Structure 1
């Protein structure tokens, strides 16, 4: 599997960072620090040798002053100075030597056999003409450091040596002293050991700091990580104990506050979802009842329309009979008996028509009452829709407060609000249809009242016709006139009945549209119930286990 830096733990990253800090120190130790210390130690040793040579040089100056003062001869002064320098020691074993510019060895405490000998051909173990180089250095610079190989007293193995020489011009002597490089190496080893101890102590200190950091920072961060995983799994009863007030402690307190707020938000969303489901069920039941009542009223209006059509046909037949009666009265008064029977039949038909008109008026009155009930139910649905829309807005606000964790709730809230707006639109359409139905029902009721008046007038005319038949001989023309009037009124009543039947058919069609609209509301409410159920399911994921009681599905009863 390909390694990715983001998968390392915080503690591992910390140790890597400390390692990156310690690595330059470890690299600088052999590559820079030790060479720099070695060079500094060499420079210090050269300065020390120079200082020592300067001290011994004072001995030569002292005896030269005695020569100048006449206290000693030059030979006596040189012998006394050589003797004193031969006995002079520093660092327990380090010594001085003197050679002249020939070069000849004037004084050396460890090479008495070579005193006075010409050292031009003298070579060290590496073939270097040491004293020739010393004389050349003294001639050109007067003093300076020189390196060569020499044997330590008591040893036969030549080792590197650092020396410092200075020309004493009055006598032509070159005063010198030196130290063996292995002494410098020993000091360097001690210094290196001390540096290693220091570096080790620093590394131990860094490790200790990392351990303390892991105790005070990494462990609380791990606790926060575990708590966040539990929250992601749905446990909102998590509390991270924090006894510090530093940045990590503030992070822990902020996390606890966030979990508490998220728990309250989720509980509020669950309550809203539960309430929305309950309201959706009430809306669905109300819409089903409304659909059933509207369907029944539609069927009743169909029956009323059929009754009105039957009444119209009866009135048309009555008008035809009245015309025949008028013709018979005009052609022959002797058929008055037949006219009387026709009038009686007309009276019976008119009586039946009166009963039909009364029944139709009662049905129209019931239809008006039902329309008012439907209006009240539509108002109830609109109020519930408004409340649902408000609940959806509140849910969206709470989801926005929840941030990234509430994005799913925001989407569900938007869908719920869309369903509420669809329900409001459908309710508006049904209200418009209901208003149109009420107007047409009112018009039909007015027509029914007018028809009732006309029918009652026909009854009076029929009664008058019966009286006229008793005076058939003397009032035939009057009977003819009244029967003609009755026929005209019957024709108009038949036309009014046809118009009323047409309007009732329109009301029936509008009622069917209302039934369709209510069914659409029912479907929208079912969708709203499903969305609320889904919202509750999302909220229940973060609710305590004992509070995760599933919502009841929508009932299918009427």
Structure 2
């Protein structure tokens, strides 16, 4: 047992010695590694510091004493290459973003100005369409009034035609009566001429009777007392013949005046007949003209009615167009608002692009 115990103690002491040796060896290795790592870190710290400042122009050189350091060096240099490519890509994209943002800002400004002009134009179109709608409605009302006035005028002209027709009937009747009266007066003049001839015969007989009575009175004076009674009769006969001659002369004068008046009346009636016939012809022509006027008024009335109908349809169409233009104007206002917001975002993006470009320019590759 003592031998085994001594053996075990010897082995323990051996293991303790070995452990102490290993510990010393490990401590030596750790010290060596720390010194090498310190040298590596001393070389690596400035490079990482320049990277932190954005300078990737210099590669990392750690020294190729072992594989691990070589792998770390390659990994860091690959990271540098990746960062260089990334910075280059970001720089290019930043420049593109800056240019695109500037173009977008200009485009947004142009679109905003165009939208403002469009909003103004649509507002003017809306107002113009409102005025056009009011004008068309006024035209429709005027056309309707014109159609009503044309119908009233047509009715008045037709009434005038009826009056002219009655006047023509009256004129024709008057012409007939005047012609009948003229014929009667002409017949009276003819009868007066016949009476004048009879009076001429009577006057001739009275003259002869007066001459015979004068001769009888002369013969009675020659006969003396025997012819006194005959002389008285002869005087009476002569006096009667003289009165007859005077009466026939007066009657002839009256008949002559009557014939003159009859001729004047006939001439006046003929003039009246001619005037009445001319008036009738004029009235007939006026009636024909009124027929044409009635036709023209009917045409005007139909045209005015069609104009009123068409303008009413146009008013409805213009009203619909005005409503559409109002909606377009509202959409333009909405687009103007959105474009304004887009312009603000574009300006903000332009600022961000400038800031990004400035930030990227700080990197050196």
Structure 1 length as normaliser, TM-score?
0.34
Q: Is the 8 A contact 1:472 1:479 kept in 2?
A: no
Q: Measure the CA separation in 2 of the matches of 1:541 and 1:225.
A: 21
Is 1:505 the counterpart of 2:326 in the alignment? Answer: yes
Q: Measure the CA separation in 1 of the matches of 2:41 and 2:155.
A: 122
2:55 match? 235
Q: Cα–Cα, structure 1 residues 266 and 333, in superposed 2: closer, same or farther, change >3 Å? A: same
Offset at 1:541?
Answer: 4.2
Offset at 1:219?
Answer: 0.6
1:284 match? 105
Q: Is the 8 A contact 1:319 1:487 kept in 2?
A: yes
Higher helix residue share: 2
Q: Cα–Cα, structure 1 residues 536 and 335, in superposed 2: closer, same or farther, change >3 Å? A: farther
**How do 1:485-504 and structure 2 match up within 5 A?**
485-504=306-325
Offset at 1:276?
Answer: 1.3
Q: Higher relative CO (CA 8 A, sep ≥ 6), structure 1 or 2?
A: 2
Show CA shifts across 1:392-451 (max 9, x none).
Answer: xxxxxxxxxxxxxxxxxxxxxxxxxxxxxxxxxxxxxxxxxxxxxxxxxxxxxxxxxxxx
Offset at 1:225?
Answer: 2.6
> What is the CA RMSD across the aligned residues, in angstroms?
3.7
Q: Measure the CA separation in 1 of the matches of 2:64 and 2:357.
A: 36
Show CA shifts across 1:204-251 (max 9, x none).
Answer: x99986775466443123211332222122221232322323322322
Choose from 71, 77, 86 the match for 1:256: 77
1:514 match? 335
Q: Measure the CA separation in 1 of the matches of 2:27 and 2:332.
A: 86
Q: Cα–Cα, structure 1 residues 245 and 480, in superposed 2: closer, same or farther, change >3 Å? A: same
Higher strand residue share: 1
Q: Is the 8 A contact 2:144 2:304 kept in 1?
A: yes
Q: Cα–Cα, structure 1 residues 327 and 274, in superposed 2: closer, same or farther, change >3 Å? A: same
Is 1:223 the counterpart of 2:43 in the alignment? Answer: yes
Q: Cα–Cα, structure 1 residues 260 and 469, in superposed 2: closer, same or farther, change >3 Å? A: farther
Is 1:306 the counterpart of 2:127 in the alignment? Answer: yes
Choose from 295, 298, 302 the match for 1:481: 302
**How do 1:45-444 and structure 2 match up within 5 A?**
213=33, 216-241=36-61, 242-333=63-154
2:364 match? 543
Q: Is the 8 A contact 2:98 2:357 kept in 1?
A: no
Offset at 1:311?
Answer: 2.1
Offset at 1:269?
Answer: 1.2
Structure with larger Rg: 2
Q: Measure the CA separation in 1 of the matches of 2:141 and 2:329.
A: 31
Q: Measure the CA separation in 2 of the matches of 1:520 and 1:541.
A: 32
Q: Measure the CA separation in 1 of the matches of 2:31 and 2:364.
A: 38
Q: Measure the CA separation in 1 of the matches of 2:33 and 2:149.
A: 126
SS, match of residue 131 in structure 2 = helix
Offset at 1:534?
Answer: 4.3
Q: Measure the CA separation in 2 of the matches of 1:539 and 1:317.
A: 70
Show CA shifts across 1:172-215 (max 9, x none).
Answer: xxxxxxxxxxxxxxxxxxxxxxxxxxx9xx98x99986775466
Aligned length: 217
Q: Measure the CA separation in 2 of the matches of 1:470 and 1:258.
A: 109
Q: Cα–Cα, structure 1 residues 288 and 471, in superposed 2: closer, same or farther, change >3 Å? A: farther
Q: Measure the CA separation in 1 of the matches of 2:26 and 2:142.
A: 125
Q: Measure the CA separation in 1 of the matches of 2:132 and 2:95.
A: 55
Q: Measure the CA separation in 2 of the matches of 1:226 and 1:213.
A: 20
4+ runs deviating over 6 angstroms: 205-211
